[in-house]
């Protein structure tokens, strides 16, 4: 495109790309504003606007999309941010269910969808069909989790959905790579080799991420107290773990070894989220959370908008038959995976049986999003063994599936959750927080008045007058909070958990302060901090347990 | 009059269950024994420090919330204890009732009061199993809307 502000000699591909990125970010920001105003999930709005971008002239936004750009630059931050918030304490209680759904579910999805696509869509060879089956089997929880947060659902359901999604991203990517390697005209395929590669890829990738994540968490995040440097280190970790795993063979001269970069990022993020963030200061934690939230927002936006640029809208219509096959295939597969594997899991682990109502949400909430789109975009005809027609068909099918799940399932999942009675009283909870926040702020104001009086800055009579007003407001708000809790007594447990967690964190800060002042040794600090961390983990355990519901029996099982 | 055992989880609805138990105890001048049961499948893989912390935090929570409930309902004379046990739900509640020589077990149901009353009539298999195993009356408090 023309850049009137720049002289011709200054034109470069880099500047053109920069202008394109600025335009895309501007569009993303505008979409976010509108989506918030009309209460539409952001990813749903993005996918619609991404479609609209397809109408723009091809020269308007120029970004060269390569597999490396998508996989090495855009995918790691998406996964790293998603894993940061997952509590290992909660995840491990349902790890078996999560791994069963992610591993067996994705494999079933890849082969069943692949078989249907291969049989029903012209021109898609078997291996390429399995590749598309794998990439559209990877669920993306972003849109669903946004709903979960807004209407409030049991934490266990959130963990099941998020956990399955994270691990099936990794599994889908490994299957995708193996299938693509087998898709070339001269490629040979051996089941034994593929299984071996799958195991080495998966476990090797996890090991790389765990080791790097642990080193960063225990050496740097624990010992350094500089939020900027610590943020930079996590950025290096997210991209570095991906690169080290992907380039492991080349770096260590093991030509045949390839490890999963995606699983390395997942493991690194889980380690930092569960070990590193526990050992950092509140400032660093806040900085890290804000930074990664921002980066994930930017990347999510770019992925959807880039897809819009890649796909011609007429292609969607021309390949409606292929999209229909893919949509039906993923629904059938999801049905088998969620209810079939859910039932199998209940037989193996009856005490952790997934309630039927959760299974309904997991089935209909199995949306596809940025990772499927990113993997599809990474298919570049010149770089893959596939022809341009096959690449185009696979991308159009993926986008069609993502579009369907986001627009149809994404816009109806909220109603389903409410109908199943899985939403909790979010409005009442927000009202409780609002009243608590007022009290908290007024108390801070009163403390400041005391300080001003003590320093002699404020005349006593003026202090008495102002403090009297503050105390009156505080008393009124405390009464209102009391009324609110009497009306909705179930909110009290949340309030208790929050207060108890705050007091434990205050105890931990006091210990760190005591160690800094030399009152206690580092050994004592570590011992007592570990004890408090156990209690904080216990609170998460208890909270997750309580959210499963009160007592007794439903058709899904027992529970106090 | 014998004591009552009240099994709680701490989730939505536990307030009504706790309140009903305290009211029951105060009306009949008997002790209420609140019991939290931890699922061993989730608990046993944890290390000793975490297991200890879970038991301690559950006891803290049950004690704090029971005291608050009693104070709010003006049942300050109600007598209660809290306990945390690990084990299979029905067996653990029944064994604890026996240990406390309780004459009744009180549990909450996420269903509304009317449904819960029906459930008490025998349609709920958990209540039935508990009743059969513990050989004492099982009362179900409806905690739904």
Span A327-347, pLDDT tens digits: 999 999 999 999 999 999 988
Average pLDDT for A452-480: 90
Query: Among A460, A487, A514, where does a domain finish?
Result: A487
Is residue B117's pLDDT more than 60? Answer: no
Both structure tokens of B120: 């008490």
| Mean per-residue pLDDT over chain A, rounded | 82
Query: CATH no. for residue A297?
Result: 1.20.1530.20
Same domain, A108 and A223: yes
* Domain span at A282: 66-419
To the nearest whole percent, how much of chain A has pLDDT over 70? 88
Total domains present in chain A: 3
Q: Give tens-digit pLDDT for B41-93.
A: 777 777 888 889 999 999 999 999 999 889 888 887 889 999 999 988 889 99
Is residue A431's pLDDT more than 70? Answer: yes
Is residue A485's pLDDT more than 70? Answer: yes
Q: Give tens-digit pLDDT for A193-219.
A: 777 888 888 899 999 999 999 999 888
Do residues B108 and B136 lie in contact, with contact meaning Cβ atoms separated by under 8 Å? no
Residues of B in contact with A556 (CB under 8 A): none
| Per-residue model confidence (pLDDT) at position B23 | 92
Helix (H) / strand (E) element for B81: namely: strand B80-86
Is residue A448's pLDDT more than 60? Answer: yes
B136 to chain A nearest CA, in Å? 17
Highest mean pLDDT out of A79-93, A146-160, A198-212, A533-547: A198-212
Same domain, A410 and A529: no
- Is the CB of B99 inside 8 Å of chain A's CB atoms? no
Distance between start and end Cα atoms, chain A = 65
Same domain, A454 and A532: no
Query: CATH no. for residue B137?
Result: 3.40.50.620
DSSP class of A353: P
- Is the CB of B66 inside 8 Å of chain A's CB atoms? no
Both structure tokens of A104: 């067996």
Is residue A188's pLDDT more than 80? Answer: no
| Per-residue model confidence (pLDDT) at position A538 | 87
Cβ separation A552–B16 shorter than 8 A: no
Please tell me which residue of chain A has the smallest CA distance to B37: A560
Same domain, A161 and A224: yes
Asked if residue A474 belongs to a domain, the reply is yes
Do residues B107 and A551 lie in contact, with contact meaning Cβ atoms separated by under 8 Å? yes
Same domain, A536 and A481: no
Asked if residue A192 belongs to a domain, the reply is yes
A531 to chain B nearest CA, in Å? 7
| Per-residue model confidence (pLDDT) at position A34 | 87
| Per-residue model confidence (pLDDT) at position A218 | 86
Q: What share of chain B is helix, strand, coil (3-state, %, to 5)?
A: 50, 20, 25
B106 to chain A nearest CA, in Å? 10
Total domains present in chain B: 1
Tokens 């997952």 label which residue?
A86
Q: What is the pTM of this model?
A: 0.67
Count Cβ atoms below 10 Å from residue A327 Cβ, excluding itself: 18
Same domain, A477 and A414: no
- Given the DSSP bridges, would you call strands B80-86 and B32-38 parallel, antiparallel or unpaired? parallel
A252 to chain B nearest CA, in Å? 36
* Domain span at B20: 4-142
Distances in Å between the alpha carbon of A172 and those of A176, B28, B68, B86?
6, 61, 50, 38
Query: Among A419, A439, A470, where does a domain finish?
Result: A419
Same domain, A365 and A456: no
Task: Kindly give, in sequence order, each residue whose CB lies less than 8 Å from that of residue B95, ignoring residues fewer than 6 positions away.
Answer: B87
Cβ separation A541–B42 shorter than 8 A: yes
Per mean pLDDT, which range of A49-58, A310-319, A535-544 is the poorest?
A49-58
Cβ separation A92–B110 shorter than 8 A: no
| Per-residue model confidence (pLDDT) at position B116 | 44
Do residues A257 and A248 lie in contact, with contact meaning Cβ atoms separated by under 8 Å? yes
Do residues A355 and A330 lie in contact, with contact meaning Cβ atoms separated by under 8 Å? no
Closest C-alpha among A41, A11, A47, A13 to residue A27: A47
Residue in B9, B19, B60 closest to A551 by CB: B9
pLDDT confidence tier of residue A506, bands split at 50, 70 and 90: confident
Q: Give tens-digit pLDDT for A79-92.
A: 898 888 887 877 88
Same domain, A273 and A341: yes
To the nearest whole percent, how much of chain A has pLDDT over 90? 21
DSSP string, A492-558: HHHHHHHHHHHHHHHHHHHHHHHHHTTSS-HHHHHHHHHHHHHHHHHHHHHHHHHTT-SSS-BTTB-
Asked if residue A61 belongs to a domain, the reply is no
Asked if residue A406 belongs to a domain, the reply is yes
pLDDT confidence tier of residue A1, bands split at 50, 70 and 90: very low
| Per-residue model confidence (pLDDT) at position A141 | 72
Query: Among A368, A395, A419, where does a domain finish?
Result: A419
Is residue A292's pLDDT more than 50? Answer: yes
Average pLDDT for A14-36: 84
Residues of A in contact with B9 (CB under 8 A): 545-546, 548-551, 559-560
Q: What is the dihedral of CA A403, A409, A415, A418, to 10 degrees?
A: -120
Please tell me which residue of chain B has the smallest CA distance to A494: B11
Is residue A24's pLDDT more than 80? Answer: yes
| Per-residue model confidence (pLDDT) at position A3 | 47
Same domain, A435 and A378: no
Is residue A98's pLDDT more than 90? Answer: yes
| Per-residue model confidence (pLDDT) at position A334 | 93
Per mean pLDDT, which range of A55-59, A117-121, A524-528 is the poorest?
A55-59
Same domain, A99 and A234: yes
Same domain, A453 and A509: no
pLDDT confidence tier of residue B4, bands split at 50, 70 and 90: very high
Average pLDDT for A474-498: 83
Is residue A173's pLDDT more than 50? Answer: yes
Q: Note whether ipTM > 0.90 here.
A: no
Asked if residue A44 belongs to a domain, the reply is no
Both structure tokens of A458: 């404020």
Do residues A64 and A427 lie in contact, with contact meaning Cβ atoms separated by under 8 Å? no
Same domain, A436 and A405: no
């Amino acid at each position: 495109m023309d850049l009137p502000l720049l002289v011709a000699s200054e034109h470069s591909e880099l500047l053109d790309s920069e202008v394109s990125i600025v335009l895309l970010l501007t569009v993303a920001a505008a979409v976010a504003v509108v989506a918030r105003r009309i209460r539409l999930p952001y990813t749903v709005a993005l996918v619609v606007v991404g479609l609209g971008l397809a109408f723009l002239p091809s020269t308007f936004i120029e970004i060269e999309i390569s597999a490396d750009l998508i996989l090495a630059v855009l995918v790691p931050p998406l996964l790293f941010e998603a894993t940061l918030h997952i509590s290992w304490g909660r995840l491990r209680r349902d790890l078996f269910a999560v791994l069963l759904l992610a591993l067996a579910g994705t494999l079933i999805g890849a082969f069943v969808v692949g078989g249907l696509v291969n049989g029903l869509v012209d021109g898609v060879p078997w291996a390429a069909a399995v590749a598309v089956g794998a990439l559209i089997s990877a669920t993306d929880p972003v849109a669903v989790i946004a709903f979960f947060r807004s209407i409030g659902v049991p934490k266990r359901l959130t963990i099941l959905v998020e956990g399955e999604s994270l691990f099936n991203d990794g599994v889908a990517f490994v299957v995708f790579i193996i299938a693509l390697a087998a898709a070339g005209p001269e490629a040979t395929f051996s089941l034994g080799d593929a299984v071996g590669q799958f195991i080495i890829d998966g476990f090797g990738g996890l090991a790389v991420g765990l080791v790097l994540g642990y080193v960063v968490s225990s050496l740097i995040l624990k010992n350094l107290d500089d939020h900027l440097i610590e943020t930079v280190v996590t950025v290096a970790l997210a991209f570095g773990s991906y690169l080290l795993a992907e380039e492991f063979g080349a770096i260590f001269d093991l030509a045949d070894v390839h490890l999963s970069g995606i699983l390395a990022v997942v493991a690194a993020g889980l380690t930092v989220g569960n070990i590193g963030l526990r050992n950092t200061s509140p400032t660093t934690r806040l900085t890290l959370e804000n930074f990664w939230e921002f980066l994930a927002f930017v990347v999510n936006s770019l992925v959807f908008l880039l897809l819009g640029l890649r796909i011609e809208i007429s292609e969607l219509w021309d390949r409606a038959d292929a999209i229909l096959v893919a949509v039906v295939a993923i629904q059938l597969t999801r049905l088998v995976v969620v209810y079939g594997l859910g039932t199998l899991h209940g037989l193996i682990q009856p005490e952790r049986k997934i309630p039927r109502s959760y299974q309904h949400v997991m089935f209909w909430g199995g949306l596809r999003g940025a990772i499927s789109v990113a993997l599809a975009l990474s298919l570049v005809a010149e770089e893959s063994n596939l022809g341009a027609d096959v690449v185009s068909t696979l991308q159009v099918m993926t986008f069609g599936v993502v579009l369907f799940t986001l627009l149809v399932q994404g816009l109806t999942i909220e109603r389903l959750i409410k109908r199943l009675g899985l939403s909790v009283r979010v409005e009442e909870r927000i009202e409780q927080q609002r009243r608590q926040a007022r009290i908290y702020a007024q108390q801070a104001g009163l403390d400041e008045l005391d300080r001003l009086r003590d320093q002699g800055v404020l005349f006593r009579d003026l202090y008495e007058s102002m403090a009297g007003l503050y105390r009156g407001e505080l008393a009124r708000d405390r009464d209102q909070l009391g009324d609110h809790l009497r009306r909705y007594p179930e909110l009290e447990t949340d309030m208790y958990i929050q207060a108890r967690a705050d007091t434990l964190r205050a105890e931990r800060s006091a210990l760190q302060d005591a160690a800094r002042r030399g009152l206690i040794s580092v050994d004592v600090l570590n011992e007592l901090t570990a004890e408090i961390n156990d209690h904080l983990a216990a609170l998460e355990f208890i909270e997750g347990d309580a959210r499963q519901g009160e007592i007794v029996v439903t058709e899904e099982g027992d529970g106090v | 009059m014998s004591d009552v055992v009240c099994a709680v989880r701490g989730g939505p609805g536990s307030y009504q269950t706790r309140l009903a138990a305290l009211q029951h105890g105060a009306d009949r001048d008997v002790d209420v024994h609140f019991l939290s049961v931890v699922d061993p499948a989730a608990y046993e893989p944890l290390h000793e420090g975490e297991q200890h912390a879970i038991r301690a935090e559950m006891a803290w929570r049950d004690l704090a919330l029971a005291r608050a409930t009693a104070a709010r309902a003006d049942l300050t004379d109600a007598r209660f204890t809290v306990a945390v046990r690990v084990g299979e739900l029905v067996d653990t509640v029944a064994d604890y009732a026996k240990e406390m020589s309780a004459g009744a077990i009180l549990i909450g149901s996420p269903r509304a009061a009317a449904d819960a009353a029906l459930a008490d009539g025998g349609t709920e298999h958990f209540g039935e199993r508990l009743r059969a195993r513990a050989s004492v009356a099982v009362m179900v408090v409806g905690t739904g809307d």
